[in-house]
Structure 1
Amino acid sequence: MKTQVKALVVGGGAVGTSVAYHLARAGWSDVMLLERDELTSGSTWHAAGLLPLFNMSYATTHIHQYSVEFYKTLEAETGLNAGFSVVGNLRMAQTDARMDEYRVYATTAESCGVPFEWMTPAQIRARWPLVRTEDLKGAIYHPTDGYINPADVTMAMAKGARQRGVVIERKWQADGFAWKGDHWEVTCTKMVERGGNLVPSDEQVVIRAEHVVTASGNHAQRTARMLGIKIPAIPVEHQFIVTEPDPALVAYRKAGGEEHPVLRDADAKWYVREERGGWILGPYERGAPACFEYGVPDSFRADLFPLDLERIEEEYMSMIHRLPSSEEVGLKDDYNGPICYTPDGNPLVGPAPGLRNMWLAEGFSFGITAAGGTGYYLAQLMVEGEAEIDMASLDPKRYGQDWMTTEYAARKNEECYEHVYILHHPDEEREACRPLRTGPAYDRQKARGAQFGCVNGFERPNYYGPLDAPDSFDHDARSFRRGDWWQYAVDEARAIREGVGLIDATAFAKHRVFGPGAAAFLDWFTTNKLPKVGRINLTYALTAAGTTRTEYTIVRLAEDEFYLVSAGAWEAYDDDYLRKAEEDWWAVNAGPENWMGIENVTTKWGVFAIAGPKSRDVLNLVIKDADPANALSNKRFPWLSCREIELGMCPVRAIRVAYTGELGWELHHPIEMQNYLFDLLEKAGADHGMKLVGARAQNWLRQEKSYRAFGNELGRDATPLEADLPRFVDLEKAFHGKAAMLEKGIRSKCITVLIDGPADADPWGREALYLDGQKVGRLTSGGYSVAFGKSIGMGYVRPDLAVEGQRLQVRMLGDLWDAVVTCDSPYDPKNEAIRKDG
């Protein structure tokens, strides 16, 4: 057995074998895969083998699309038939809302190049007469989709990996990981059969590996404990049943009828496909329990749980309704096995938090669909330093780390399972485990009608609903069009444009970087010039590939002390990258003259953002200063500066900046004083009609200013120059990723468009952009502009089209609508409002 390799992959299911295969195909010749039992003995063996392309995530859609195309090539390469039945995938809709969901999804499919067709109930009935259609509204059909044999495709990838030099060792378990500064030492134990169980033997080896990938599936919690990290991948029981042959189906096929596509009745919460003359039913019912929260028992191998037919009775009866011929058919087989989930249903793919050269490929609820693409894009991350698509939405650190618990992950994963077929509104907010992380002002905000979203576990107001008639307003009502919340967000946005509004931005990620080496490090780490003491700058940290890794507002508190503010949803993501970058820099610049420290102060500071033409008037009522009338004037407190001020009895780090593009300040305050400050500002604001404002209105307002958002316009698939932000990139200095950024050039460019869209809908930021019937780009953000009275969006197009006045079209809810490229910052392009003196 080899004891030294370039990369060690732990886990021999479909995902692990794909990772090993693609690492070898990408050029790493020294790769080993370990499997504690037999290949496919985890969830792979009892998977139904479906390949659903439908996904609202841009990255996940690319992964699934790659898998579908890749699996079709395996037989030619390996000689093994992967058992891919390309029968298509028919996703049916019983309601208009479900058809709207499909139309919103279709924009992601268009952007990613996933083929689809629309079908009417009559077309479905004519093509597949066994399907009842009179209560359907329509369907979306993926002709390139279908199902595959999970064991066969895994074995084909394993053979392909071996042909490329990968060593696959079965019956070896990873029992310990130790980082030695430039490599991992992985302690492995030989597993042996004993009394039907798989148990450790006395035989051990230590494998030296430069890189390790964990694809441990149901064993992710054991992996997490060994690595000393948190991995919110916990299995949930999934049942499916196989019927005896259906005489009507058998007769239909004998008469020349084509095989049914994989049928999905999303409103009934199930999938169905043909299986040897019968049917496989896979429900996604309520009440499916999480399992193995603290690890898989040693006695559990390729085992199953007892079937719970009562739990899936509703879904079984709805199958009979949709396929009436199945009513008299008996049950042949049943399966109830563990399938890993994560709180949002997307896998965890990328570098492990706090660890070097440790890569996670965990939490796959649709592992067969995702295996091929995961191997491909993870290999790009490992070999080339970055993938061709932005993988941030799948990053293992996207949930945070310190506050995450096993109980939270288990309950959220159960919720995610039952939401597989629940309408996926772009504005959906799921209820499980909430509220959990709350700022002190949460109860006050809730009492004033706040409807909260969840960001990194934090409760953050999305908008404020009515208090005068709460019974007449359904806060839980969601829509793919302008929901009940829309008018409240309009009023909030207008309040900031015309008066004054107060936004809770406490969820911002905040770091303190200090010490004699802090300035030199940050100068290397970020693209912009560092600000002078008391000033601020917007800047970017790049990946090694030159794309945008993080956006920071940097406040210089002293010559050797800096306060960094970044997106609240990405706290752990930013913290991990910041600390690893500091380690890289220190390895080259070690010495007492360059000592520095990093402190995550996110939960120490609350943040209120006050903005609008009257914001200075409100603050003037409460500021304590020797010259209060001029304390907030441009002369004493200019735009893009920071001052320590006192508001009543609260010390405040005030930053003159506003994400809304109006006159305003961010008020960073000790978290324990938040309620005092909230009450103080609310009382002062009453004289000026101050309105509490949520995140949705703020999102619209920042688009009117063309302010890019990380995770939307800013990400690891575009450089700051492609985001059209040259003013924040100082090409006169050396910084991390500079050469790679310049080498990439301008492949596409960020634009803002104003849209003459439908009267009842706005874009969500997933829509394809067209010119003369040809797709030329996509939106990354969308919403409504109160300044222009129409829909607005931001996105990317070919550089030659990023010209003010260029006419395009955007696909919304199935139709093309006129759009025009506007200037950067269409609202107040000269920044006169934000610089307003007083």
Structure 2
Amino acid sequence: MKTHVKALVVGGGAVGTSIAYHLARAGWADVMLLERDELTSGSTWHAAGLLPYFNMSYATTHIHDYSIKYYKTLEEDTGLNAGFFVVGNLRMAQTEARMDEYRLYASTAETCGVPYEWMTPAQIKERWPLVRTDDLKGAIYHPTDGYINPADVTMAMAKGARQRGVTIERKWQVDGYRWTGSDWQVSVTKMVERGGNLVPGDETATITAEHVVTATGNHAQRTAQLLGIKIPAIPVEHQYIVTEPDPALVEWRKTNDQHPVLRDADAKWYVREERGGWILGPYERNAPARFQYGVPDSFRADLFPLDLDRIEEEYMSMIHRIPSSETAGLKDDYNGPICYTPDGNPLLGPAPGLRNMWLAEGFSFGITAAGGAGHYLAQMMVEGEAEIDMASLDPRRYGSWMTTEYAVRKNEEAYEHVYILHHPDEERPAARPLRTAPAYDRQKALGAQFGQVNGWERPNYYGPVDAPESFDHDARSFRRGGWWQYAVEEAKAIREGVGLIDATAFAKTLVHGPGAAGFLDWFTCNRLPKVGRINLTYALTGAGTTRTEYTILREAEDRFMLISSGAWQAYDQDFLRKAVEDREAEFGRITVEDWTTRHGVFAIAGPKSRDVLRAVIRDADPDTALSNKRFPWLSTRRIELGMCPVTAVRVAYTGELGWELHHPIEMQTYLWDLLMQAGAAHGLKPVGARAQNWLRQEKSYRAFGNELGRDATPLEADLPRFVDLSKAFHGKAAMEATGVRVKCVTLLIDGPADADPWGREALYTPEGERVGRLTSGGYSVAFGQSIGMGYVRPELAVEGTRLKVKMLDALWDARITCDSPYDPGNETIRKDG
């Protein structure tokens, strides 16, 4: 066995073999894959092998699309038939709400070039008469996907990897990882058969690897323990049953091709043809998580006992949908572990806190994603970045606050929600509330309806406190939900009066020391602010795209507070700390401290915000303390509000006159009460995140994870004012070499009367050519119509350009407006007083 390799892939399922294949195809000549048992012996062997396109995530849609296309090339490449049956995928809907979900998905699919067809119940019945359609509203049909044999596709990828020089070793278990500063020392043990069990033998070895990829599936918790990190990938039981031949299906097949894969999402199951019978795979309630502390040594290619009572409802609904299946007896049953994560997306990318360690864990749809996961992870490893933004799958999207119990409860919820309507405004309830700021109870008493951001409870909007029982705070919609009217009033309050927003979830990182200024000047693309001032800036990837957005507060010559998105705290801080480690010898001593939970943040904004603060500020001259002369726009000062010391920042994400108020977290309830009491005379209204999201689009403020990401440069985001090309900074050369391939724009949209875009929609010319996509969407109270932001070809990014937005399966008029259509001269935000 080799003991020195460029890359070591640990895990021989579909995901691991795909990664090994793609690393070799990308040019890495010395790749080895280790499997503790036999290839496919984990979840791969008992997977149903479905290849569904349907996914609301832009990145995941690309991954699935790549897989489906790639699997079709394997036989020509390797000589092995991967067992791909392109039978199509029919996703049925029993309700109009489900059809709305499909309409939103379809527009997202169009941005990725995924083909689909709409079908009426009559068309379904005519084409597939075994399906009962009298209670259906319609369906979306993908003609180019189907199902594949998991073992065959894995073996084909393994052969393709070997053909490209990959070494595959079976029956070797990893027992330890040690980073030397330049490579990984991986301790391995040969596994042997004893009494039907697989146990460590006497033969051991150490493998030196420059890079390691873990694709350990159900064994992710053991991997986490060996690496000393947290990996929220824990398996959940998934059952499916195989019936005896259905005589009606057998008869139908005499003159027809294979039946498509059927999905009745409202009934929570998939069904596909199998040797004249049916495979039923339900996603039922109360499926338990397993192996939260590791897989027992005795568990190999094993299964759990079937729990038919748990899936009785889904089984009966299959009989309802395919009446002929009632006569087919049960032939086989499977109940095996399939890994999940709290949000259902895999963990694909760099391991938090570690160098050259890559995770490919938590694949609940592993066969569907394996091909694309290997392709895009290989791009990240070999080229430095993938061609699509992979942040939504990054393992560092979960912070160190996450526990095993949290992962268990959220993973069980993710499993149950596979077929529950995926509203864009959904808020899943499991493991909540968990992280709450001190003002949480105050806000809840005022009617706050919360969303979860990185575990934090954050008000989305404030509903009526004395709402009648008929008012459903949890009502969701693909159109304007019950919350919409309240968000409108909150947005108007900031535009016309004053509002108070809880922004405590912001990530706050203190960077200080003799090398801090030099490092940050290299690390970010904008010029650093002077002491007492602030600046918006970006840290770039090595490919020149946007890696992180920061607001930098300069407290002293060598002391900086970096404010970034609360949803990306661990993601941002891991990138920052690794960059500091790499460059500290060059710039001098640099200290990085996480202050996120030390300080709360309130944002007060609106024409009357100065009046509210003036009533509570303690200053020798309170009338001028907040004036432009003493407290100009884009500056920061330490002030006292009542008895609370505050670092106030003259900035507002809403584009109105306003301040961010950073305060000691232990004084938060005092400050909340003080501001609410003082604001009563001025009509102060608490405001949630949804109204704030609309308001920032009226100002064309880009949001990280939406307009800003690793697939576009700051120049493509049309932010040249935040890029100082006169200095050297990380990623500058790559950014300039990339040029401007696309450009970010703001659009005003004449959409339907009952719906706004969500930021996932395709953009077209009036002639019908697809030219871009939205990345954000909502409603503008300033213009009384829908608004959105997105990317188009540069030549179209001109004010007045007419486009069409695909919403609810229809094209709606839109026009590109100027940057910052509300108050483009920033007169309101600079207002003196």
Structure 1 residue 792: Cα displacement: 0.1
**2:666 — aligned with what?**
672
Give the corresponding residue for 2:322. Answer: 323
- What does 1:364-513 align with in structure 2 at a 5 Å threshold? 364-400=363-399, 402-513=400-511
- Count residues with an aligned counterpart: 832
Distance 1:535 1:792 in 2: 32
Q: 5 Å matches for 1:667-746?
A: 667-746=661-740
Q: Identify the residue that residue 337 of structure 1 maps to in structure 2.
A: 336
Q: Which amino acid aligns with 2:499?
A: G
Report matched runs for 1:170-189 at 5 Å.
170-189=170-189
Partner residue in 1 for 2:285: 286
Change (3 A) 1:574 1:461: same
- Relative to the length of structure 1, the TM-score reads 0.99
Distance apart, 1:585 and its partner CA: 1.1
* Residue 363 (structure 1) aligns with: 362
Structure 1 residue 4 and structure 2 residue 1: aligned? Answer: no
Shift of 1:641: 0.1
Within the candidate set 597, 602, 606, 2:600 is matched to 606
* 1:61-106: CA deviation from partner (whole Å, max 9, x where unpaired): 0000000000000000100000000000000000000000000111
List gaps (5 residues or longer) in structure 1: none
- Shift, 1:108, TM fit: 1.0
Structure-2 separation of matches of 1:514 and 1:611: 30
Tell me by how many angstroms 1:588 deviates.
Answer: 3.9
Measured in 1, the distance between the counterparts of 2:466 and 2:274 equals 57
Aligned to 2:132: 132
The correspondence for 2:613, drawn from 605, 608, 619, is 619
Match of 1:765 among 743, 759, 762: 759
Q: Which amino acid aligns with 1:88?
A: G
Does 2:748 align with 1:754? yes
Distance 1:768 1:108 in 2: 7
Deviation at 1:258? Answer: 2.5
Read off the aligned partner of 1:603 and give its amino acid letter. T
Distance in 1 between the 2:309 and 2:81 partners? 38
Q: Secondary structure at the match of 1:472?
A: coil
Q: Aligned partners of 2:660 and 2:467: how far apart in 1?
A: 32
Structure 2 residue aligned with 1:832, among 809, 824, 827?
827
Amino acid at match of 2:627: S
Superimposed CA distance per residue, residues 495-524 of structure 1 (whole angstroms, 9 cap, x where no aligned partner):
000000000000000000000100000000
What amino acid does structure 1 have at the position aligned with 2:662? H
Deviations 1:441-475 (A, max 9, x none): 00010010000000000000000001232423101
Partner of 1:251: 251
SS in structure 2 of the partner of residue 452 of structure 1: strand
1:328 Cα deviation after fit: 1.4
1:257 positional shift: 2.1
Q: TM-score, normalised by structure 2?
A: 1.00
C-alpha distance after superposition, 1:767-792 (max 9, x if no partner): 00001101000000000000000000
- Once residues 213 and 286 of structure 1 are traced to their aligned partners in structure 2, the CA distance between those partners, rounded to angstroms, is 33
Q: Aligned AA for 1:573?
A: Y
Tell me the secondary structure at the aligned position of residue 507 of structure 1: coil
Indicate if the aligned counterparts of 2:93 and 2:137 stay in contact, CA closer than 8 A.
yes
For 1:469 and 1:331, locate their aligned partners in 2 and report how far apart those are by CA, in whole Å. Answer: 50
Equivalent residues in 2 for 1:221-240 (5 A)?
221-240=221-240
2:75 is the alignment partner of 1:65: no
Output the amino acid matched with 2:474: D
User: Distance in 2 between the 1:587 and 1:471 partners?
Assistant: 63
Distance in 1 between the 2:805 and 2:467 partners?
Answer: 37
- Deviation at 1:586? 1.8
Q: Are 1:273 and 2:267 counterparts?
A: no
CA distance in structure 2 between the aligned counterparts of 1:435 and 1:11, rounded to whole angstroms: 36
| 2:18 alignment partner AA | S
- Percent identity, aligned pairs only? 83
Counterpart amino acid of residue 429 in structure 1: E
Aligned-residue CA RMSD (Å): 0.5
Query: Partners in 1 of 2:531 and 2:259 — Cα distance?
Result: 68
Q: Is 1:112 the equivalent of 2:112?
A: yes
Spell out, residue by residue over 1:318-346, the C-alpha distance to the aligned partner (whole angstroms, 9 max, x if none): 00000000111100000000000001100
- Secondary structure (helix, strand or coil) at the match of 1:826 reads coil
- SS of alignment partner, residue 687 of structure 1: helix
Q: Is the 8 A contact 2:537 2:549 kept in 1?
A: yes
Asked whether the 8 Å contact 2:540–2:548 carries over to 1, the reply is yes
Q: Residue deviations 1:5-25, cap 9 Å, x none?
A: 000000000000000000000
Deviation at 1:260, TM superposition (A): 1.2
Q: How many angstroms apart in 2 are the aligned matches of 1:59 and 1:509? A: 24
Aligned amino acid, residue 408 of structure 1: Y
* Corresponding letter in the other structure for 1:143: P
Within 5 Å, give how 1:657-668 maps onto structure 2.
657-668=651-662
Counterparts of 2:724 and 2:807 in 1: how far apart (Å)?
38
Give the distance between the partners of 2:659 and 2:612, measured in 1 at CA: 11
SS in 2 for 1:832: coil
Q: Report the Cα offset of residue 412 of structure 1.
A: 0.3
Report what 2:300 is aligned to.
301
Q: Distance in 1 between matches of 2:468 and 2:570?
A: 37
Question: Residue by residue, what CA displacement relative to the aligned partner does 1:643-664 show, whole Å, maximum 9, x if unpaired?
Answer: 0000000000000000000000
| Alpha-carbon shift at residue 587 of structure 1 (Å) | 4.5
Distance 2:743 2:297 in 1: 53
CA distance in 2, matches of 1:184, 1:108: 40
Rate the CA distance shift 1:16–1:476 in 2: closer, same or farther, 3 A. Answer: same
Corresponding position of 1:597: 591
TM-superposition CA deviations, 1:405-462 (whole Å, max 9, x none)? 0000011000000000000000000000000000000001001000000000000000
* 2:203 counterpart of 1:192: no
Q: Is the 8 A contact 2:450 2:460 kept in 1?
A: yes
Provide the secondary structure at the position in 1 that maps to 2:571. Answer: helix
TM-superposed CA distance for 1:667, in Å, is 0.2
Q: Give yes or no for contact 2:349–2:359 (8 Å, CA) kept in 1.
A: yes
Matching residue of 1:820: 815
CA contact (8 A) 2:654 2:692 kept: yes
What does 1:539-618 align with in structure 2 at a 5 Å threshold?
A: 539-589=537-587, 594-618=588-612
